[in-house]
Structure 1
Amino acid sequence: MRLALLGAGVALAATAIGATNAQADGSSGNITIHKVVVNGGKPVVVGTTKVVSAKVSVTASDDSGIAETTYFAAFGPTPNYAQIWYDDGEITCVAASATTSTCTGTLTFDPQASTGFVGNNAAATWNLATLVSANDDDAFVLDAAATFKVQRYSKLTVDASPEPVKKGKTVTVTGKLSRANWEDNKYHGYVNQSVKLQFRKKGSNTYTTVKTIKSDATGNLRTTVTASVDGYFRYSFAGTTTTPKVNATGDFVDVR
């Protein structure tokens, strides 16, 4: 069984962690969980429409061998508490030895599902829980096997004008920083955020920062620079805990 998210584009970011029986919320026997990985340790970013999946793997061992992982469960913050989970019919375990196995499954996040949670507060730290069973019927429950962040998909645009422009004249660079809003499944401006204006000279592969400005009350960006040589302007946003980093596609300016 799986439960999806309502009104929430999400992202997962987790690093591999170690765990021992001392961390168990409920256990019997000698099962040890060695490593838990969500989405390869990389963020998974979801916006307002697209369904995104994140692979979860748990590596565990027991003297008798690992029989199965019964579930993975992802628990969101409160208010608007949410849970998504997979049962053992959708989790597979592969033995690396007589005692150790890695069990994998997939958490699915659907921003337009009819069950789950609603609210931008879901962009926060989540917990992953798991239940692992051994061949001798030992069981190991971890309610905080891993933590991961849920983030809101971000967009960034840029437009430099006029094109072409005379050398020494003013170039106006506009753009907009926006992110997914999970209360209406639309994109809204991300306000009062520091964004870098960067420039890449024609023939170069490297962008350098020209200046840093802040997005206005609607997420819009606007600044001016003096035209000097042909090249590409872009805006670059470093990201926050709730919103991933993003770079606009460079806009070429022909300086004559």
Structure 2
Amino acid sequence: MRKPLAAATVLATLALLLGPAATARAGTANPPRILSGTIHASDLVLGPATSRTFFVSFEAEDDSGISRTGAEVILGGPDGRDLRSDPGTTLCTPHSTNPLRSTCRFTFTVRTDPWSLTNAHAGLYRMWALVTSNDFDIPTSEGLTTAYDLDRIRIQRKAQFTADAFPEPPRPGHPLGIVGRLTLADWDNGGYTGAPAGLPVQLVYNADGSSRYEYIANLTTGSGGVIATTTPPRADGIWWLAHNGTDATPWIYSAADHVDMP
């Protein structure tokens, strides 16, 4: 399991953050405890050239209290992409009723462009956290704790979906054709581009006057996100194509196409 930061990098960073005060109680520190972590956002569905800001926090405690600035959160994602909090936004605040416990809060801003998030970076991100106590000792690393997979968030490429039934009306005794295309936000180049082949798609039907939605067939996208299939004609009703989503792509229905039988 990949760790976002090597121990030497962690200690060097904290030495800069905490300065000489970090060794005030060298050799006496106990490990602080990270109690829980939360990403304060639902899954992010981002279009091209889009930015979004959200917050991340964790609860920690130590018998000497938690350092106000000696904490870090990284969101580790696909293709080796690690998201770090915005500079200068980290702050651990002691609880008013229990000064040995603190809430550490971080601000994250993500951007979809070739210099920040690219298409390969869409997917699941896991929360990694580091915290130090007030009696943290840099040379021995006493008073430092890390935790992995405290919470998760999906950062997904916004989708568009078209579908068309033909011919209309269907010819008696002949199947109804359904064609569509699933496209995804192109974080590399802007605009939208065809989805990769192999993504799951379902053909959905709803007869006029019925509250029942029928899943008629399981399909997959072809090259460029194209879907093409045929189905026996049914009573007057509405047809859709549906993608139930992956870690990197959101749930989406195509626009509805109503078909009247001859």
Q: Normalised by the size of structure 1, how large is the TM-score?
A: 0.69
How many residues are matched? Answer: 227
Residue 104 (1) aligns with residue 108 (2): no
Q: Residue 253 of structure 1: CA displacement?
A: 2.4
Q: Residue 198 of structure 1: CA displacement?
A: 0.8
Residue 158 (1) aligns with residue 159 (2): no
For residues 227-242 of structure 1, the aligned pairs below 5 Å read 227-242=233-248
Q: Tell me the residue number matched to 1:214.
A: 220
RMSD: 3.5
Measure the CA separation in 2 of the matches of 1:167 and 1:90: 67
Name whichever of 98-107 and 192-201 sits farther off: 98-107
SS of alignment partner, residue 242 of structure 1: coil
Measure the CA separation in 2 of the matches of 1:219 and 1:67: 50
SS of alignment partner, residue 45 of structure 1: strand
Would the alpha carbon gap of residues 60 and 241 (structure 1) be closer, same or farther in structure 2, given more than 3 Å must change? Answer: same
For residues 173-252 of structure 1, the aligned pairs below 5 Å read 173-190=178-195, 191-252=197-258
Residue 72 (1) aligns with residue 78 (2): no
- Sequence identity percentage: 25
5+ long unaligned stretches in structure 2: 1-9, 15-28, 137-142
Measure the CA separation in 1 of the matches of 2:60 and 2:111: 29
Measure the CA separation in 2 of the matches of 1:240 and 1:89: 31
Q: Tell me the residue number matched to 1:35.
A: 36
5+ long unaligned stretches in structure 1: 1-24
Question: Contact (CA 8 Å) 2:66, 2:94: kept in 1 or not?
Answer: no
Question: Contact (CA 8 Å) 1:77, 1:124: kept in 2 or not?
Answer: yes
Question: Contact (CA 8 Å) 2:164, 2:257: kept in 1 or not?
Answer: yes
> 1:73-112: per-residue Cα shift (whole Å, max 9, x none)?
3345556x55432345355647374043433333211113
Which structure's CA Rg is the greater one? 2
Q: Residue 176 of structure 1: CA displacement?
A: 0.6
Q: Residue 125 of structure 1: CA displacement?
A: 5.0
Question: Contact (CA 8 Å) 1:71, 1:91: kept in 2 or not?
Answer: no
Q: Tell me the residue number matched to 1:11.
A: none
Looking at secondary structure, tell me which structure has more helix per residue: 2
Question: Contact (CA 8 Å) 2:46, 2:155: kept in 1 or not?
Answer: no
Would the alpha carbon gap of residues 213 and 73 (structure 1) be closer, same or farther in structure 2, given more than 3 Å must change? Answer: closer
Q: Residue 210 of structure 1: CA displacement?
A: 0.7
Measure the CA separation in 2 of the matches of 1:97 and 1:192: 54
Q: Residue 133 of structure 1: CA displacement?
A: 4.4
Q: Normalised by the size of structure 2, how large is the TM-score?
A: 0.68
Measure the CA separation in 1 of the matches of 2:259 and 2:95: 57
Measure the CA separation in 1 of the matches of 2:174 and 2:96: 66
